[in-house]
Structures are given as structure tokens and as C-alpha cells.
Amino acid sequence: MRFAPMTYSLPFVLRVLLVLLAIGVCASSPSALANSSGGAPAPPAPTSSTPATGVHATGIATWFGPGFYGKQTACGQTLTPGVVGVANRTLPCGTLIEVTYKSHSLTVPVLDRGPYGHGADWDLTAGAAEALDITETVRIATHVVGKAANTPTLGLPPESSSDTMTGGALAAEP
């Protein structure tokens, strides 16, 4: 049995080539591959785009602190015990997130990349975890509420004490 030769339209061929190109780019991107030392994939670079506000989600949260004090975050802040913020793999630096756990609620900026372990979606600074009364891996509710300028002092306690400010984050108790 003999088959007739198949002909394809130019738009079809271009679409197929575009899909193949996209697959090749994705497979070779740094985020898809571990670094040469065999460690974890490289974190995505912080961006300056503004995420949509009003995005609600729940996720698993861990916290970090003492072993990282004195080191610079991915967004340029120096981590200290007083810094209140959160690490996220994809949200831009300075994105303000309202974090709720049990009866506690706190608005914190994204100031680092992560988390990279324990199947977590969020990594709170020790100051944020303390303010929310979190001592272990927990499920939290999150809500994108806005954007703050990403400065080296983002997440630091204000110079003057205020009842409405806690460690550089806006506190709201229900």
C-alpha cells in the first residue's frame, strides 16, 4: 500500500517549531537544573513587577533566623533578630503580604527567596514567626495587600515605637 505525501501549512509548521523551541528553552533554563555543585536550583531573580493585590492562598510556612543573622537577604536587607518579613520563591521584593495564623494577623514584606526545604511555601523571619506565635511548621493564610519600596531598611523596626507598628510590619489583631 502506498501513501500520498503529507503536506503541512506554513502556520502549522511554525507552531510546531515554536513549541519545540519553547520545550528546549525550558529544559535548559537555570531554574530547571541544579547548579554544578549538585545543590538546589538557583533561586529566581527578584523582580520589580507589582503582583495583583487581593490574591488569597493558604500554604505551609516555616521560619528562619539565628543561623542567618548578619547575612544579606536576596532583596538586600541584613537579617537581624528585629527584621520582620517573609521569603517567597516568586513574589517580587517589597510585596506586602498579610499573613494570618490562628487569631494573629501581620502584614510583612517579601525580603528574601525561599523556602527551599520541608515542602514549605513561605519562610517567615524569626521576628515574624514570634509576632504570629509560630514555633513550628504550620499552615497559614496569605493575602497580597500591596507593595513597599525595596530598601535596605525594609522589615526593620521603626526608629520610634508605635502601637500600630511591630518590627517594621503592620500588626492587626482581630
Cβ–Cβ under 8 Å, residues 32 and 26: yes
For residue 56, what pLDDT is reported?
A: 76
Q: Residue 152: give the domain boundaries.
A: 56-171
Assigned domain for 124 exists:
yes
Q: What is the CATH number of the domain that holds 88?
A: 2.40.40.10
pLDDT digits (tens, 9 = 90+) for 12-59: 545 654 555 555 544 443 333 333 344 444 454 444 455 666 677 899
pLDDT digits (tens, 9 = 90+) for 70-90: 999 999 999 999 999 999 999
Assigned domain for 2 exists:
no
Assigned domain for 62 exists:
yes
**Average pLDDT estimate for 151-167:** 63
Task: For strands 95-101 and 104-112, give the pairing.
Answer: antiparallel
The number of distinct structural domains making up the chain is 1
- Round to whole Å and give the CA distance between 32 and 99: 29
Q: Taking the C-alpha atoms of 14, 17, 21 and 22 in order, what is their torsion angle to the nearest 10 degrees?
A: 70
Assigned domain for 146 exists:
yes
**3-state secondary structure (DSSP) of residue 28:** helix
Cβ–Cβ under 8 Å, residues 101 and 134: yes
For residue 164, what pLDDT is reported?
A: 37
Assigned domain for 31 exists:
no
Assigned domain for 142 exists:
yes
| pTM above threshold 0.95 | no
Q: How far is CA 114 from CA 37, 52, 54, in A?
A: 19, 20, 22
Assigned domain for 77 exists:
yes
Assigned domain for 75 exists:
yes
Residue 98's beta-bridge partner residues? 107, 143
